[in-house]
Copies of this chain bind each other. A is one copy, B any other.
Amino acid sequence: MDLRGKMEEKYRNIIIDYLRDQSEQTLYQGQKFSRELIEKKISPEEIVSLHKGLLLDLYPNVPESVIHSFDVLLEVMVGYGLAYREHQSLRNKQMEFRTEMEIAANVQQTLLGTSIPVVEGLDIGAISVPARHMNGDYFHFVLDDHQCVNVAIADVIGKGIPAALCMSMIKYAMDSLPENRHAPHMVLESLNRVVEQNVDPSMFITMFYGMYNPSNHIFYYSSAGHEPGFYYDAQTGGFSEMEAKGLLLGIDKKTKYQQYEREVHPGDMIILMSDGVTECRTEEGFLERDALISNIRKYIHLDAQTIVNNIYKDLERLQDFQLRDDFTLIILKRNV
């Protein structure tokens, strides 16, 4: 028996069962049958036609008008059938697209790849999740010859593939920086010149660049219009903003950046992020920076990587699992 014949018989049996007992059990069979029909790509207009044929067969004296009325229902269902078959095709496109994006994201990963350095006395956690498929946020660690931990966090204005294309450029630029990475303000100044020269004038990049020197426990940093980080003082238990002024990269090639510093005591934390963390929009409006702080407090006893992972998980759910912006959060915690 061919597929259509089999389906016809199945439907016939379900209908006959249901006419006998009207049970939930039979309706459940109907639902499973629906799943099967859809898997086998049978269009809804065919079901309507099947139903009409069955009625005619089971009740030869059913009024003619009832049978005629099915012609109209059939006509209407053809439109849904088309939508349904377009749906199949869009699903396939969606799959192809997802595969392509996975490859592209891997290429991006290879291009932008960084690894979190292992340094005695410093516990580092970092997470970066794209809102769509490719990341327009970027973070980068370099452990230099003096055992200083350099950390960069950047955000292209914009999301998705266009932003990702830009971000790969930044990576090439960072790789070709001269070896004296020691001064954050100088790093930003030279990156600014590259961006100004090479990137589409409508694209801007915010960046925070910091360097932690484990021999004097000082964190040096500069910011190019980037979302300010937080500083956690273990002794007072208080959080303060790491304010830093500076123009975005790519606006004016002569921009100078100011450099700031903080002494880091045992238990203190430096928390860096992109605006996707603080501007995560929930049903009740934007998440306040204060709310983020109480979120951090909740997990403060854990290690840095677990803290950032947990915070991401909480915020993801708050946003109903749909990120509005790329999300990057980094925590540096000086161990006792």
Closest to A34 in B: B79
| Interchain nearest-CB distance for A186 vs B (Å) | 22
Task: Give A90 to B15 CA distance when docked, in angstroms.
Answer: 33
Provide the residues of chain B in CB contact with A79, threshold 8 Å: 31, 34-35, 37-38
Task: Give A51 to B100 CA distance when docked, in angstroms.
Answer: 44
| Interchain nearest-CB distance for A251 vs B (Å) | 18
A107 within 8 A of B: yes
Question: CB-defined interface of A83-119 with B at 8 Å, one 1/0 digit per residue?
Answer: 1101100110110010011011011101100000000
Closest to A94 in B: B90
Question: Counting chain B CB atoms within 10 Å of each CB, which of A11, A66, A91 scores highest?
Answer: A66
Partner of A94, one of B30, B93, B132, B166: B93
| Interchain nearest-CB distance for A36 vs B (Å) | 9
A3 within 8 A of B: no
A168 within 8 A of B: yes
With A77-B44, A80-B80, A87-B86 given, is the CB distance from A72 to B165 under 8 Å? Answer: no
Provide the residues of chain B in CB contact with A243, threshold 8 Å: none
A180 within 8 A of B: no
A225 within 8 A of B: no
- A34 and B75 form a contact (CB under 8 A): yes
Task: Give A203 to B108 CA distance when docked, in angstroms.
Answer: 13
- Interface segment out of the listed A57-65, A214-222, A277-285: A57-65
26 chain-A/chain-B pairs, Cβ below 8 angstroms? A18-B69, A19-B69, A26-B72, A27-B72, A27-B75, A30-B75, A31-B75, A44-B44, A47-B73, A48-B73, A59-B66, A62-B63, A62-B66, A84-B84, A90-B91, A97-B97, A101-B161, A104-B161, A104-B162, A107-B162, A107-B203, A108-B165, A111-B165, A111-B200, A134-B161, A168-B169
